[in-house]
Structure 1
Amino acid sequence: MLAYRHAFHAGNHADVLKHLVLTQVLRYMAEKEKPYTLVDTHAGAGGYSIEGKYAQKKGEYVHGVSKLWDAKDLPEPLARYMEPVRLFNPDGQLRQYPGSPAIANLLMRDTDRLRVYELHPTDYRILETYLSTRPNTQVSDKDGFSAMRAELPPPSRRAVVLMDPSYELKTDYGKVVTALREGLERFAEGVFLIWYPQLQLLEAAQLVQRLKAAADAGAKKGWLHVRLTVEQQEDVRGFGMLGSGMFVVNPPFTLHDDLQASMPYLVDKLGQYDGANFLLEQRTS
């Protein structure tokens, strides 16, 4: 949706969970010398100012990355997630938050291929400038769902696909499921990372079961599902995000243990009510 700007939500609890998973997966992919491709279907602007008017309007980072910035007792996976965040703030103050393209830029090797898609014209221009000098990179102002078909299978037969639309349009739920099915048909070995908001909507409630069915039908190495619930629903109309989740198809074998070590800590630090909780489940093939 072209009206959506992630800058309002930069560094919130959902970004922490999404980027914790992303950093663990990218680090795992880099353990092998053979290059890999990252396809980011809804890339955003690349990075965001925490001090800017958008982030300050809602201040969601206060209950997100800010809670981890000065922590001295971070579990190792969370400490690894914070490394690119700190690299993005070289003066030692939390002023900027790296989006997924910036995290990729900081963690990927020059030989790895980066393919990013962003429809919002302003964010696209910012992203294109930010990644202009990175080798093996293409920035496109095309629909990421549709363009993904041309990206798979990748030349090296190693790929990660990140899908995190805004879901402000209910049609995004169906598009995510369709994209996963088509992606698995083209490249059943690919690692697919799908972020979703935890909302009291029928489409949101049904999404994970639909993703599980798609993964069970087409994935080589099963799936992993993690959800972090940080808020309780106070709006009688059912509006408001309670938390978010990540659904990972063909997950690295290390990811479950990394999340098991991290999620209780995130519940304690980011939870905004006594009932804050997490869910972690996995099916292996």
Structure 2
Amino acid sequence: MLSYRHLYHAGNHADILKHYTLCRILSYLTQKDKPLRYIDTHAGAGRYDLNTSEAQKLQEYNDGIGRIRNAPKTPALVKDYLNLVAKCGSNNSYSYPGSPWLAAQLLRPYDRLELCELHPQDFPRLEKTMSAFKNSHCYDVDGFQKSASLLPPVERRGVVFIDPSYELKQDYSKVADHLQVLTRKFSTGVYAIWYPIVNSDQVARLHRAVRKQQHEKIACYELSVTADEAAKGMRGSGMIVINPPWSLTAEVTEFLEFAAPLVATDGGSHWRALDTL
């Protein structure tokens, strides 16, 4: 099932949480002068032109990146993220970066990017976007299947970013099952898993499934644009991070304290940053 197109939603409240978190993970890991491998299981198009008719249809970026871009008294680390986002555009293009583009900006020439995307419209765009980065490799395959074959990395250091569309309800259990497969092959890697908050029971089951795997360290961050748990549609999203950098929870907490009031839709919002899930 490949009906989901992220171009309609690029730059929304879910993107700012997952991409800020990813940027902080990579910024920390690249402080050490040792090679790193980055694996993206659902890479998307890599970059999204917000002037297109698809992006303009919903204009979700206005209530996500747009609100934090124009905010006063922005924390320094959030400014770093915003500067990267601004770098993605050009004089003739208002764009928002996907996770592959952000990762490529933060990684070094001797690091490697392995990017999987199965959608027939997004894969050519991903290849075009990432052609400027010679240390990247794009695969027109199912990222759930391919990522396991890429582990363990010869670099012995790695980040796996898992960000499916959750078009199918079973994706929640599929993500948990796949995480267990990956961590058995490479237990010391950093795994960043994004999930939507639509149904609280589905999220609770995902959390239980991950906790049962008994990873040494599991952090969890959530941002909801409303405090109303009965609100329809995707009211928020979350990140589960296995083996998070020691500074990550404090940095994401600062971001959530800053961003949550800005993206609230009804005068209320909800967020949490758990160092242990």
TM normalised by structure 1 equals 0.92
CA-to-partner distance for each residue in 1:220-255, whole Å, 9 max, x for gaps? 4x01100001035597xx740110000000000010
Query: In the alignment, which residue of structure 2 is the partner of 1:212?
Result: 211
SS in 2 for 1:102: helix
Distance, in Å, in 1 between the alignment partners of 2:56 and 2:226 is 20
Contact 1:200 1:239 in 2 (8 A): no
Query: Which residue identity does 1:132 align to in structure 2?
Result: S
CA contact (8 A) 1:35 1:158 kept: yes
Match of 1:7 in 2: 7
Q: 1:211 to 1:94 in 2, by over 3 A?
A: farther
2:226–2:270: 8 Å Cα contact kept in structure 1? no
1:243 and 2:243 are equivalent in the alignment: no
C-alpha distance in structure 2 between counterparts of 1:9 and 1:170, whole Å: 19
Identity, % of aligned positions: 38
CA distance in structure 2 between the aligned counterparts of 1:164 and 1:50, rounded to whole angstroms:
21
Q: Report the counterpart of residue 52 of structure 2 in structure 1.
A: 52
Alpha-carbon offset, residue 62 of structure 1: 0.9
Q: Which digits, 9 at most, give the CA deviation of each residue in 1:122-152, with x for residues without a partner? A: 1001111221242232100111011111111
Q: 1:81-113 CA deviation, whole Å, 9 max, x = no partner?
A: 11210111244x981000111111221111111
Equivalents in 2 of 1:3, 1:140: separation in Å?
A: 19
Q: 1:146 to 1:260 in 2, by over 3 A?
A: same
Once superposed, what is the RMSD of the aligned Cα atoms?
1.8
- Determine helix, strand or coil for the equivalent of 1:185: helix
Matched, 1:34 2:29: no
Q: 1:1-285 maps to which residues of 2 (within 5 A)? A: 1-91=1-91, 95-200=94-199, 202-214=201-213, 216=214, 219-220=215-216, 222-231=217-226, 239-283=232-276
Q: Which amino acid in the other structure matches residue 225 of structure 1?
A: C
In the alignment, structure 2 segments of 5+ residues that lack a partner are: none
Conserved? CA contact 1:84–1:107, under 8 Å: no
Q: Distance in 1 between matches of 2:223 and 2:109?
A: 33
Distance (whole Å) between structure 1 residues aligned to residue 45 and residue 97 of structure 2: 9
- Contact 2:118-2:142 within 8 A present in 1 as well: yes
d(CA) in 2 for partners of 1:74, 1:39: 30
Rounded to whole Å, the distance in 2 between the matches of 1:142 and 1:53 is 27
Q: TM-score, normalised by structure 2?
A: 0.95
Query: Does the 8 A contact of 1:44 with 1:127 survive in 2?
Result: yes
**Amino acid aligned to 1:199:** V
- The answer (yes or no) to whether the contact 1:199–1:205 under 8 Å persists in 2 is no
* Pairwise CA distance, 1:209: 2.1
Shift of 1:205: 3.3
Counterpart secondary structure, 1:138: strand
Any conservation in 1 of the 2:261–2:268 contact (CA below 8 Å)? no
Query: How many equivalent pairs are there?
Result: 277
Greater Cα shift, 113-122 or 238-247: 238-247
Deviation of 1:156 after TM superposition, in Å, equals: 0.9
SS across alignment from 1:279: strand
Unaligned runs of 5+ in 1: none
Instruction: Return closer, same or farther for 1:9/1:3 CA change in 2, 3 Å cut-off.
Output: same
Between the aligned partners of 1:233 and 1:175, the Cα distance in structure 2 is: 28
